[in-house]
Structure formats: C-alpha cells, structure tokens
Structure 1
Amino acid sequence: MYHIIFSADENYIKYTAVLITSIVKNTNKNKFYLKENKYYFHILSNFISDSTIKKIQGLEKELNDIFPCIIQIHILSDKNFKSYPISGAAHSSKLPYYRLKLSSILEEQIDKCLYLDSDMLCLCDIREIFTINLEGKIAGVVGDPGSKKFKIKFKEYGKKKVLYFGKNYFNSGFLLINLKEWRKNDIEQKCENLASKSYYIKAADQDLLNATIKPQYQLKLDFSYNFNIKTLLYVICKNEKPNRLNYTREEFIESAKSPKILHYGEKPWKFLKSYTDLQGKNINDYWWQIAEKTPIFNKELLEQKTNIKDHLLYSTLGLELLKAIKSFNFIKISSLIHDTNQDKCFMYNVQIIHNEIFGLCCMLGEIVLYARRNNKNTFNVLLKAFKIINEFKKYANKIK
C-alpha cells in the first residue's frame, strides 16, 4: 500500500485532485514496486462540503478504472492547534500545521508515508519513492532553494530566544516519512512543545520540522523530487554561495533536465505562464494538461482558466519596473507603487515580454504588489529589485 497525504481546504481540493490525477496517470501498470499495489490518498482538511465530498467520491471511482486507489478525508480543527502561533505561513489558518498530526491520524501498522503539498504535479511513477531505504532516518527530504534566513522566535525560562537554520534546511512540501522513527523520536510532541513556546514562526510546520528533525536523521534526496519551478529562472547553488540551495550546480542541472515532481511557486490557476523549462516549454502548461484530464473537476478548472489574469498584471508591472530601473526613473517607480489606475494600460504589453525574462518580470511585479499591500516605499522596492536583477544576471545563464 502506498499512503500519500495532502492538506487542503475547500478551495484547494480541486488542485489536490489534479495532483492525485497526475500520480495515478503516471503509474506504470506493468511495473510492480510493492505487492500491495494500491494508493491510499489521505486529505487533511478543516472543512469539506457535502457537494465537494461527492466530487471526491466521483474522482476516486473514475481513477480506479486506471489504477486502484482510495481517497480518505480526515477533518481536523484549528482547536487541535491552540498552542501553535498564528504567524507567517499560518497567518490566516492553522491548516499548514495539520500535517504534523499525521502519525496520530494514520494507523499504527503503516510504517511509511509520503506527504506532498497540493501545489505540486507528479511526472514520474511515484511508487519508486517508496522503494527508498529510510532505515534509521526519520524522513527523506529535499533542500529548500531559498536563503536560510528563516527563524523561530520563542521564549524559554522568561528569556526571548531565536532559533536559526543552516545549510540542511529542507522544504516540507515533500516528506518521505519513516513513521516508526517519527513516532520513536516523538516528532509530533516535540513540534507542539516548541510551538507552545514560540511567538513567531515564519514557515509554520516547515520551521518546526527543521528544528525537530536533526540533520543526522534526514536522508537528503535528489532535488528532482521537489523541483521548485522558480529555480528555472535562476538558482544559487552551494558551490557558489553558502546557505542557499544545498546541491551543486551539476546536481541541480541533472534534476532540471528531468524533474520528477514539480513544486509550483507561481500557481498555474493564477498564472497561465511563468517560467520556461530546459526544453523551452512553459512549465505551467504541464499542470493544465493534467487539469484537462482530471475527472469530475476538469470542467470547473477550465472555466476558471478563462478568467486568469494574474500573470498579465505581475509580468507587465515587472516589465515597467525593470524599464524604470534601467533608466533610473525613480518617479516612475513611485507611480507604479501608488497609482493603480495605470495597471490596465500596462497589460497590453504582455506579448512583447520575451520568455527569457517573463519569470523575472513576474517576480519584479510581485515586489510592486507587495509594496502596495504593505505600504513599502520606493527605496524598499528599489533595493529588492536591484538584488533580484543582479542575481538573475549572475546566475540565470548557468542553468542550461
């Protein structure tokens, strides 16, 4: 049996359905990794309506015609996480913490499971992951591509303390878990104990797991198993700068040539276009190809697709910011932040943005929109944009 866990609220169920469909459709019926040849998909949620439950049941029925699977729903409550702070990634809901309870949810006899974020897409026969030997390790993990500036702020014996992370910081969107070792090391309780003392946790469950699963209990897996699509724009590897992606440039390129699980930063249901892969294809197209084939949910997904405009706004705002920086037009940068009336005028320019810089423009557009939401000034936008542009110039040409 292959136990795979997801977290999803009512709105995210349809995206989880696409991921589940990608797993089933990429299963090779002629290859048997384990004798117990069935998927058990577990969805952790705070609420799922009766109508959505019926859709999930329909999805399960149709996918069973392709490969045996069972979809189980586990409803939890934020009340179960009273001691967990509302901050960072858990600023509006405690759903990100739900995966920390998976050892209590799954039956005792289950010795291995795989957790996946719902904004992923499977491109391989996922059963190969379950053949990985985790003997003596708590979890198989994949390094996070961001800078290791995440931290947990907590109080202990009346004193404020800060816990910092280093090069082994992993992304919790993919976790191959040895449940025997997880329970033996009491990971669930350790996370709760640390959370109860914390008043700020930026990356929610991810930070807690990095704090409680020490490097000697981690099995570092290939980056292809949790391939963050933003790295297609540019990535800084460990042999180029410390405390960034904990893989060499050579290891990264091999993963980029044939990623096995895509992890979307720019969500395909918001961005029809973002980054280009090494084959020259828009990475978001892969997701929509599966969405079109997702039983039950495909109709509403395709209807949603017709109204997607985020990629237009982000990319064109980013293009205008890029042009303003190149011409040292600080008045223009200020107007991008404060004058939202001009947004519609910019959006006609999207067709002229080359694929090579489209993702860069999206990223720069996010800086402008973040400044609007958080009342940041021109200087703040300028500094962030300069950093991204300089890193792009230095590292983007090393990907291919």
Structure 2
Amino acid sequence: MVNKIYNIVCVSDENYIQHTAVMLCSLFENNINKDFHIYLLTSGIKMDTERKLQNLCKQYHAVLTCKTYSTKDLSNLPIGKWNTIMYFKLLIPQLLPNDTDRCLFLDVDMVINADITPLYNMNLSNTVIAAAEDMPDCIKIKNRLGLKQTDAYINSGVMVCNLQKWREKEKKQPIIEFTKLISNIITNEQDVIALYFKGEIEILPIKWNMTTFYFMRTPKIFDKYLPQLKEAKQHPNIIHFACPIKPWFKDCQHPYKKLYRFYLKKTIWKNYKFPIFENMTIWGRTKRIIRNGLNRMGLIKDDLYCIK
C-alpha cells in the first residue's frame, strides 16, 4: 500500500529560512508518521541555505522541492508593508505538478501544534479554498473591495487548496491576469483571494490559525468565534505569530514564544542570538519589563498584552 503524500506549500526568502525551518520542524514533530512533500516557493535562496533545509527535511524523511520564481512579472502589484513574494501564493497551481490535486499552504511565521490530518482531509467538494476568517479589521477592507459583509475575507496564512477546482478557474480567467485588472483597489494577496474565490471559500475553526490578535487580553475577534476562543487559546492547533514582535526577538511577549525556541533548538540554527526588536532607553526598557511582569501577575490588565 502506497502511503499518502501530504503536499505542503510555503513561501520564503533568504531572510526567513530559519523561521521556515522552525515551522517545518514543528510540522514534522507533530505528524511523525506522515510522508510530506514540501514545496518552497521563493524568489531565490543561497545553495548552502537550500542544503541546510534539505538536510532538515531528510531527517524527517520528507521531500523538499524548491521552486524559484522571478518577481519581475509581479513588480507592479501593490505591496504596502509586505513583500512581493506574498503573491507567490496565487501561483500554487502553476508551480506544483499538474497531478497534485490538493495542498496545504502554511505561512512560515508559525508553529504547528497538532496532527494536521483533519485539516488536510477536510471536504472541499463544493469549495476551492478552506481558511480561517480574518480579524474584524476586514470589515473596512470588504467595503473597500466592494464585497458584502457576508462574503468571506480570510487570513491566508493557512489554506487548504483544492487544486483541481482552482485549475478549472484558471482556464476561465488566470488569477494573475485578474490580479492585474484589480491592482488599483487591492493592497495584498488576501484581497485578491477574497475577490477571485468569492463564494468558493470554506471557513475553518479558529484553532487552525490562531493569530496573535486572538491572544490579546481584549482579543481582536468576531463575536461569533468567542465560544471557540478559550479552548483554542489553551490548545491551539496552529499558532500564527502575526505581529511585529515575533518570537525570534528577545522582547516578544507571546504566550507560546517558547515553542518557537523549542523547535529552533532542533535545527541547525539552534545557536541563533535573539535580538531586541524595540529600541528603547534603559529606563524605557525597565518600565516595559516591570509592566510586562505586572501583566503576567494580573496586577494590571493591559488590553494589548497577550495571554493564554
């Protein structure tokens, strides 16, 4: 009997390879008996960097395929505070083999904390993509894009993709052509996904994409997800470090930052020196440390402080 292959897609560059390795390590460690084919979509990484990532994947009997794609054809698309390579997510059906009928896309600023079987195998017979809804800020985004508030606007960090149905859509209108037509109203790839796949998106439970905003003392979350929140915070399946001060900075206050360090120690980047994200005076740093300590003890309750 041939083992099932789990196709995992991620986008990264030289600056984020260490974090890619941590995410993949967490995926492998929590899905130890699965066969993975990892597709890394990149604008280019060093040969030595690819070799290190290949060695990590081989350690877990996973296959790694690096797909290098030029950003030249995407250079006129808006990027805001992000990077052009975010649009590589839209190229998944083109860059993966034609006989690949399903994949799971994962951002690299994540830790996978559970068995992904139910996520990967979910029913997509009537949809093209399954993903978690974005935070309430998307209300304004929907207005800007001309979407109804009942239309889905997702966080694209975790996406289960029905590639057969996606390719069928591509035959009618290639997604990159579509993106160029609407480039005057979009700011990132999530806008494109919301418009291109309108009516063809399945919404995932929040536990599959627990962003930093959900861990805040006053979480940025739609009220309809509040019944899921306590369990998802205590037992998150995927932790998405979607915030400026990520766990590879010394001053990160995320409640699951230690998981990043745990998996980092299992990689060749284990001797990484954690820098400080925020430049402060000694007095400013001292006040911040005291404030964070008081938050941990519950003596003050900062709305933006992250808790389990």
Indicate which of 27, 34, 48 corresponds to 1:51.
Answer: 48
Rounded to whole Å, the distance in 2 between the matches of 1:98 and 1:135 is: 24
Matched positions, count? 293
TM-score, length-normalised on structure 1? 0.67
Q: Which residue of 2 aligns with 1:309?
A: 276
| Contact 2:90–2:176, Cα closer than 8 Å, also in 1 | yes
Rounded to whole Å, the distance in 2 between the matches of 1:140 and 1:197 is: 23
Q: Which residue of 2 aligns with 1:95?
A: 85
Deviation at 1:21, TM superposition (A): 0.4
Q: Is 1:261 the counterpart of 2:238 in the alignment?
A: yes
1:1-400 residue pairs with structure 2 within 5 A? 1-29=5-33, 37-63=34-60, 68-82=61-75, 84-90=76-82, 93-148=83-138, 149-150=140-141, 163-164=146-147, 166=149, 168-186=152-170, 189-202=174-187, 204-214=188-198, 216-233=199-216, 234-239=218-223, 247-264=224-241, 265=243, 266-275=245-254, 282-294=255-267, 296-299=268-271, 301=272, 304-305=273-274, 308-310=275-277, 313=279, 343-355=281-293, 357=295, 392=303
Deviation at 1:357, TM superposition (A): 4.2
- Runs of 5+ consecutive residues of structure 1 not aligned to the other structure: 30-36, 154-161, 240-246, 276-281, 318-342, 359-388
Deviation at 1:213, TM superposition (A): 1.0
Deviation at 1:349, TM superposition (A): 2.7
Q: Deviations over 1:108-140 (max 9, x none)?
A: 111110111110110012233222111121011
Give the direction of change, closer, same or farther, for the CA distance of 1:145–1:99 in structure 2 (3 Å limit).
Answer: same
Instruction: For CA contacts below 8 A with separation 6 or more, give which structure has more relative contact order.
Output: 2
| Contact 2:206–2:225, Cα closer than 8 Å, also in 1 | no
- Report the AA paired with residue 124 of structure 1: A
Q: Deviations over 1:14-71 (max 9, x none)?
A: 1100000000111143xxxxxxx410111111111122122122222323xxxx2111
Partner SS state of residue 88, structure 1: coil
TM-score, length-normalised on structure 2? 0.85
- Report the AA paired with residue 249 of structure 2: K
Give the direction of change, closer, same or farther, for the CA distance of 1:230–1:356 in structure 2 (3 Å limit).
Answer: farther
Rounded to whole Å, the distance in 1 between the matches of 2:143 and 2:270 is: 40
Give the direction of change, closer, same or farther, for the CA distance of 1:85–1:165 in structure 2 (3 Å limit).
Answer: farther
Partner SS state of residue 354, structure 1: helix
- Report the AA paired with residue 35 of structure 2: K
- Report the AA paired with residue 270 of structure 2: N
Structure with greater helix percent:
1
Q: Which has the larger radius of gyration?
A: 1
CA root-mean-square deviation? 2.6
| Contact 1:22–1:121, Cα closer than 8 Å, also in 2 | yes
Give the direction of change, closer, same or farther, for the CA distance of 1:94–1:188 in structure 2 (3 Å limit).
Answer: farther
Identity of aligned residues (%): 23
Give the direction of change, closer, same or farther, for the CA distance of 1:179–1:152 in structure 2 (3 Å limit).
Answer: farther
Give the direction of change, closer, same or farther, for the CA distance of 1:152–1:190 in structure 2 (3 Å limit).
Answer: farther
Partner SS state of residue 96, structure 1: helix
| Contact 2:7–2:39, Cα closer than 8 Å, also in 1 | yes
Rounded to whole Å, the distance in 2 between the matches of 1:357 and 1:95 is: 37
- Report the AA paired with residue 255 of structure 1: A
